[in-house]
């Protein structure tokens, strides 16, 4: 799970770099990059919730 979270962080960083280098007048392209980042953030949140739930179960 940690590796998945690290991979997501890496992918987000790459997309953010692409956004910074992207043509600021290309709203469609920026929107696509932004949507990809949002999807990764959703996946990250789900993994973190799953990790928290598993750690609680192990703590019982």
The pLDDT of residue 60 is 65
The pLDDT of residue 59 is 82
Share of the chain above pLDDT 90, in %: 85
Query: How many other C-beta atoms are found inside a 10 Å radius of the C-beta of residue 8?
Result: 19
Q: Model pTM? A: 0.85
CA–chain centroid gap for 14, Å, is: 10
Domain that holds residue 10: 2-59
Q: Which of 13, 44, 37, 42 is nearest to 52 (CA)?
A: 44
Average pLDDT over residues 47-59: 90
- pLDDT category of residue 2 using cuts at 50, 70 and 90: confident
Contact 8, 44 (CB under 8 A): yes
Average pLDDT over residues 31-45: 97
The domain tally of the chain equals 1
Cα dihedral sign, 31-36-52-54? positive
């Amino acid at each position: 799970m940690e590796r998945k979270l690290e991979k997501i962080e890496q992918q987000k960083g790459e997309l953010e770099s692409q956004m910074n280098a992207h043509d600021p007048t290309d709203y469609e392209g920026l929107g696509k990059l932004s949507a990809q980042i949002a999807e990764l953030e959703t996946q990250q949140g789900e993994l973190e919730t799953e990790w928290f739930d598993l750690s609680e179960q192990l703590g019982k």
